[in-house]
Structure 1
């Protein structure tokens, strides 16, 4: 495709960035393909090849204005750097998240097929990441639960002790604060861990946007075959199904997309494999609980006392809670900030409640 109209400076800058991002995404898929073999490798190389169509679209539109190569967006640079060194489900989840944020639906210079392609790419990556997500669910739940419980319970204990004034009733205060902190922390930790596991598994369900995008795919050039291959079909079956679906869409464009055109990324993983081993879950829970529980007491171990120590402990725990929440969000394809704030609110809610109860016991004179 070529353009007879010279782009404005603003358009040229935007299109050059799109061109850089398409090239960066193709490179991400090539990096990931280097760390895989068999069908997964073929699928990733197929995605890299598909990005060339989008790249060529912007080259043709820019014409003489293509200029020198520009840097891709920060998101693509980060994903590219990780893909070059790692091939884990974490990198696949980041790439899936990047594809879901395509600007082409709001870009007049992009075709409807390009926007549809990006949604299909998201589904291909969802299929590739599904098995890794299923395998890590059990131990991941134990790790999230252990880290959250260690962080929240010990911060709550420290805050509860501070609220009492830690006078002559220190032993009783420790028992009460420990009981309250444990109950609140267990409730918060169980909620977070179960929700995290549910979100990881829910990330394998097809998005409604990708399902709707099928009607805009080209007949000869599309990635629908790659979606079916990422769901476990052999090449011949995937090609036949893609041809059948697109032929039906072309014959009756006014009808809804046929049922089964965009299957969920469900994988047949043994239940024990999905849950993880007992030893693995136990070691994850132990290690992450110990690591999390150490953070609230670090200021006191370093010699700090009083409210300065409490403030430092709260800041450190808040950062740790947000990190664990954002990791859950990234792996499940959800907004990382929203998950981080949810983790922070629940953790600080439990600690704040214990602190207020400590104040109440201290003010009542029950603790000496």
Structure 2
């Protein structure tokens, strides 16, 4: 866990100054994960659902109804699951905050020494580490310990409501793509159009996710396309088999 000193704390010159315009992408990890996961689930699950129903030989109205039910149910399920999961993470974070508050009240000297030891372990000389620890403790001891001892930075703290809302919105935005294709295309062309539209949407999602996360586009796109195509194929074949049997 890298230590990042605030502007007023003493620093050790290790190379050229970092440009103020430099930006990193790791701060996007939480919302990017939820958004990409939600949109991918919306596209794949809804397209697979409508293709499975279409493979069974159901009518167009039944296919669209199944798609709408999948969109609504999936969005609510994503929201509920994300809220519960992130709330558990938030509870753990709050417990750590309360523990640090208690330790700072009951043993401030020990906590100061602990903070100094952290900076020494990261390469600062003992004297400089003590100066940094004292400066950060005087400014905001709790924030310093949460960040540098526990890795809890404010911009990366768990936010259950935000996570639930973004996951539901992302799922719905992805699910609407195959749903529109299922509802607007005539019976004869419905299945191939859903497949093509879904693959195009998945390719775009993979490229956008890679772009936002600073990753390579081709592996991300191929990964999303491969799993999406497999899910649609399996669901369609199962739907066709069930429709034939029934």
Q: Give the shorter-chain TM-score range.
A: 0.5 to 0.7
Mapped pair 1:286 → 2:187: no
Q: Find 1:159's aligned residue among 41, 45, 51.
A: 51
CA contact under 8 A between 1:139 and 1:275: conserved in structure 2? no
What value does the CA root-mean-square deviation take over the aligned residues? 3.9
Change (3 A) 1:316 1:271: farther
Q: How far apart, in 1, do the equivalents of 2:170 and 2:182 lie?
A: 20
Q: What is the deviation of 1:318?
A: 1.3
Q: How far apart, in 1, do the equivalents of 2:35 and 2:165 lie?
A: 9
Corresponding residue for residue 357 of structure 1: 238
Q: What is the deviation of 1:325?
A: 1.5
Per-residue CA deviation, residues 321-359 of structure 1 (Å, 9 max, x unaligned), is 112222333344432111101101111111111100011
Mapped pair 1:341 → 2:222: yes
Q: How does 1:114-125 map to 2 (within 5 A)?
A: none
Q: What is the deviation of 1:288?
A: 0.8
Aligned residues: 159
Corresponding residue for residue 32 of structure 2: 140
Please give the TM-score of this superposition, normalised by the length of structure 1. Answer: 0.37
Q: What is the deviation of 1:308?
A: 1.7
Please give the TM-score of this superposition, normalised by the length of structure 2. Answer: 0.53
Per-residue CA deviation, residues 293-332 of structure 1 (Å, 9 max, x unaligned), is 1000112443x22242332222222122112222333344
Q: How far apart, in 2, do the equivalents of 1:290 and 1:282 lie?
A: 12
Q: How far apart, in 2, do the equivalents of 1:315 and 1:345 lie?
A: 13
- Relative contact order (alpha carbons < 8 A, sep ≥ 6): 1 or 2 greater? 2
Q: How far apart, in 2, do the equivalents of 1:283 and 1:290 lie?
A: 11
1:317 aligns to what SS in structure 2?
Answer: helix
Q: How far apart, in 2, do the equivalents of 1:166 and 1:283 lie?
A: 33
Q: How does 1:262-341 map to 2 (within 5 A)?
A: 269-270=151-152, 273-274=155-156, 276-302=158-184, 304-341=185-222
Corresponding residue for residue 97 of structure 2: none
Change (3 A) 1:275 1:319: farther
Unaligned runs of 5+ in 1: 1-36, 46-86, 93-127, 191-230, 238-266
Change (3 A) 1:289 1:322: same
Q: How far apart, in 2, do the equivalents of 1:314 and 1:355 lie?
A: 11
Per-residue CA deviation, residues 11-70 of structure 1 (Å, 9 max, x unaligned), is xxxxxxxxxxxxxxxxxxxxxxxxxx999xx5238xxxxxxxxxxxxxxxxxxxxxxxxx
Q: How far apart, in 1, do the equivalents of 2:47 and 2:157 lie?
A: 29
Change (3 A) 1:272 1:292: same
Change (3 A) 1:143 1:332: closer
Q: What is the deviation of 1:284?
A: 1.1
Q: How far apart, in 1, do the equivalents of 2:188 and 2:158 lie?
A: 42
Unaligned runs of 5+ in 2: 1-6, 12-16, 83-121, 129-146
Q: How does 1:1-368 map to 2 (within 5 A)?
A: 43-44=18-19, 128-129=23-24, 132-133=25-26, 135-166=27-58, 269-270=151-152, 273-274=155-156, 276-302=158-184, 304-364=185-245, 366=246
Q: What is the deviation of 1:174?
A: 5.3
Corresponding residue for residue 257 of structure 1: none
Change (3 A) 1:44 1:295: same
